Amino acid sequence: MPLPVAHLTHLALPTELLFNILAHVLAHSVHMVVVSPHDVEWHLGAHHTLSAVCFVFREIVRGISAKAFQFPGEDSEGLAPHVHNHLTALRALGAAIRHPDPAPSLASTLAISALDPAAPQLVQCYSLYITTVYLRTQAARSTPAVYTSTTAAIVAAVRTLAKVLYTHVKPRGAAAVLSAATADEAALSALGGAVVGRCGVLAGVLDELAAQQDSALALAFEHDEEPAQDAEAPKTKVEHAIRDIAAATPTSAHSSAPLPITHSLPLRQRRQRDADPLLLPAWLAQLPDVAATLQRLCAMAPALIGDDARRF
The H-or-E segment that residue 84 falls in is: helix 79-98
Are residues 93 and 126 in contact, defined by beta-carbon separation less than 8 angstroms?
Answer: yes
DSSP notation for 156-223: HHHHHIIIIIGGG-SSGGGGHHHHHHHHHHHHHHHHHHHHHHHHHHHHHHHHHHHHHHHHHHHHHHHH
For residues 88 and 293, the model is more confident at 88
Share the mean pLDDT of the chain.
74
Residue 270: the pLDDT is 32
Residue 6: the pLDDT is 46
Residue 211: the pLDDT is 78
Cα 101 to Cα 208: distance, rounded to the nearest angstrom: 38
52 lies in a domain? yes
3-state helix, strand, coil in the chain (%, to 5): 70, 0, 30
Reported confidence tier of residue 141, pLDDT bands at 50, 70, 90: confident
Task: Decide if pLDDT at 96 tops 80.
Answer: yes
Cα 115 to Cα 7: distance, rounded to the nearest angstrom: 49
Single out the residue in 65, 95, 125 at which a domain terminates: 95
Task: Decide if pLDDT at 57 tops 80.
Answer: yes
Give me the percent of the chain exceeding a pLDDT of 90.
Answer: 22
Residue 193: the pLDDT is 87
Alpha carbon separation from 163 to 50, 124, 132, 170, 183 (Å, rounded): 31, 14, 16, 14, 12
127 lies in a domain? no
pLDDT digits (tens, 9 = 90+) for 158-170: 887 777 666 788 8
Residue 65: the pLDDT is 94
**Closest-CA residue to 115 (of 97, 133, 106, 128):** 128
125 lies in a domain? no
Q: pTM here?
A: 0.74
300 lies in a domain? yes
Task: Decide if pLDDT at 134 tops 60.
Answer: yes
End-to-end, the C-alpha distance of the chain in Å comes to 56
Are residues 142 and 290 in contact, defined by beta-carbon separation less than 8 angstroms?
Answer: no
128 lies in a domain? no
Residue 137: the pLDDT is 86
Single out the residue in 95, 129, 162 at which a domain terminates: 95
pLDDT digits (tens, 9 = 90+) for 148-204: 888 888 888 888 777 766 678 889 889 889 988 988 888 888 888 888 888 888 888
For residues 239 and 142, the model is more confident at 142
Cα 261 to Cα 129: distance, rounded to the nearest angstrom: 11
Give me the percent of the chain exceeding a pLDDT of 70.
Answer: 65
Single out the residue in 58, 80, 95 at which a domain terminates: 95
Are residues 191 and 250 in contact, defined by beta-carbon separation less than 8 angstroms?
Answer: yes
Cα 69 to Cα 126: distance, rounded to the nearest angstrom: 12
Residues in the chain: 312
Reported confidence tier of residue 24, pLDDT bands at 50, 70, 90: very high
Same-domain status, 76 and 192:
no
Residue 90: the pLDDT is 93
155 lies in a domain? no
Q: Classify residue 160 by burial, with Cβ atoms within 10 Å: 0-12, 13-18, 19+.
A: middle
> Average of pLDDT values for 37-59?
92
Number of domains in the chain: 2
Same-domain status, 190 and 294:
yes
Are residues 246 and 270 in contact, defined by beta-carbon separation less than 8 angstroms?
Answer: no
Domain of 249, in residue numbers = 186-311
Residue 217: the pLDDT is 59
287 lies in a domain? yes
Residue 164: the pLDDT is 66
Are residues 168 and 121 in contact, defined by beta-carbon separation less than 8 angstroms?
Answer: yes
pLDDT digits (tens, 9 = 90+) for 251-305: 444 443 333 333 333 333 333 333 334 445 677 778 888 888 888 887 776 666 5
104 lies in a domain? no
